[in-house]
Structure 1
């Protein structure tokens, strides 16, 4: 497929300082897109943009470093406010930031199990806060970087923070299932994608070896291209549209998850 010019596009990529997120920024910027580079701290975001310029020859004018620790929902709100003020027209939001659930049950200051908050709740909140900026033009979209492990997950509706029974793999799979379900939320034009097993910090959850983060990022960037027609709410395994877990397609789960997430983030959508 021909590579289209993205010089008129503005994208925000979360978790953009390493791995798939970093390579997604590189590929988008190489095609001319203006990219908001999110990192957990301002120092990490600035260091990533510096590397993109010095190592890959990216035009610094195309990059804007932004910071927010997704383990702190107030920082997510500040991030959204800054984007709305400085970039009121946003074509693409790539919800990529993620973490492996820790060995021990960990709760954020907001009261949420940390992987559920960082991998899903923060993106849910950010997406809805950015609705005024997300374009309704053809090609505008949200791309959730999910995982094939969503198929092993279940959302514990009465105990989403898994206080009663915690497993790091189950907590991670729950967060990825929630992110996949969220793509079917009718309030946003969105898809979710499993970019393949890549050699990132999350590799031990999947296998002993994987493809490069750049190869995984290429599948994400393909879905960011307005020339690529997407099916709203669809799930992609790399370049192929496939059916997600049955739980991710049930209308009842979409509505139930929205209510749960609104409660946990203190946001009324």
Structure 2
């Protein structure tokens, strides 16, 4: 990726304190981007910034830190306000933060199943709230870090929090399907990507071994590059554009999901 393609670009990476998010931030900063590092806490974000600043070729002034616990929607809203205030022109949003669904059914203080909120609803709310800053310039885009497991999922419309029948794998897969469906939302230019099975905290959901987070991050960072032409709403596995689950391309499903998400995050209520 040539340095000039991302120099002077501003990119927000959620979940940038470890794994694929941290390595994506490193890749982007090395290519000249100004990177906004999101972490669950201010301490985690500062630690990530210090770690990246020690990388040859990354200047500390390229990095800015933000904190928000995605299990608290009010913190997501505050994050969006702070980013818009500091950076009224945002070129790329990387929705990367994620968690494995816990063994036991867990509900946030906002009333949502925790994996559905952290992996999808928080990113939905953040993306919608950042619309005033997200540029419409060529190359501006949202990159949703999804999963091939979205193909195994279904959205339980009558019980999205899976209170009646809970399975951690099904809950995680549902959150990834929702994020992939949201990619087709016409309000923003967006793509989704499965970066491969990587050796991160989510590895047990997929396999016993995986590639390094840096290898997975390369696929994410590539899609942030304005020199890489994308098809709006497309889904990638690694570098290859492939067809996602059928639900991810259905207009009716996109509209239904937006309506559900607006209800669950309190937008338009």
TM range (shorter): over 0.9
**Contact kept in structure 1, 2:5 and 2:227, CA below 8 Å:** no
Q: SS where residue 35 of structure 1 aligns? A: strand
> Counterpart of 2:38?
38
Tell me, in whole angstroms, the C-alpha distance in 2 between the residues paired with 1:8 and 1:42: 25
2:11 matched to 1:6?
Answer: no
C-alpha deviation, 1:4, in angstroms: 4.5
Q: What TM-score do the two structures reach when normalised by structure 2?
A: 0.98
Unmatched 5+ stretches in structure 2: none
Q: Distance in 2 between matches of 1:192 and 1:68?
A: 22
1:20 — aligned with what? 20
Instruction: Quote the offset at 1:247 in angstroms.
Output: 1.1
RMSD over aligned Cα atoms:
1.1
Q: Distance in 2 between matches of 1:238 and 1:99?
A: 20
The superposition leaves residues 87-123 of structure 1 with CA deviations (integer Å, 9 ceiling, x where unpaired) of: 1000000000000000000000000000000000000
Partners of 2:218 and 2:86 in 1: how far apart?
A: 27
State the Cα distance separating 1:268 from its structure 2 match: 2.5
Conservation of the 8 A alpha-carbon contact between 1:125 and 1:265: yes
Q: Deviations over 1:1-49 (max 9, x none)?
A: 7564311200000000000000000000001100000000000000000
CA distance in 2, matches of 1:268, 1:17: 32
Match of 2:52 in 1: 52
User: In structure 1, how many angstroms separate the alpha carbons of the residues matched to 2:85 and 2:187?
Assistant: 22
Question: Residues 4 and 227 of structure 1 are in contact (CA less than 8 Å); yes or no, is this contact kept in structure 2?
Answer: no
- Aligned partner of residue 107 in structure 2, secondary structure: coil
1:177 alignment partner in structure 2: 177
Q: Is the 8 A contact 2:3 2:32 kept in 1?
A: no
Deviation at 1:165, TM superposition (A): 0.2
Whole-angstrom distance in 1 between the partners of 2:147 and 2:255: 21
Runs of 4+ deviating beyond 2 Å? 1-5
TM-score computed with the length of structure 1 as normaliser: 0.98
Contact 1:4 1:225 in 2 (8 A): no
CA contact (8 A) 1:145 1:194 kept: yes
Cα 1:51/1:107, change in 2 over 3 Å: same
Aligned to 1:71: 71
What residue ranges of structure 1 are gaps of 5+ in the alignment?
none
- Equivalence map 1:86-235=2 (5 Å): 86-235=86-235
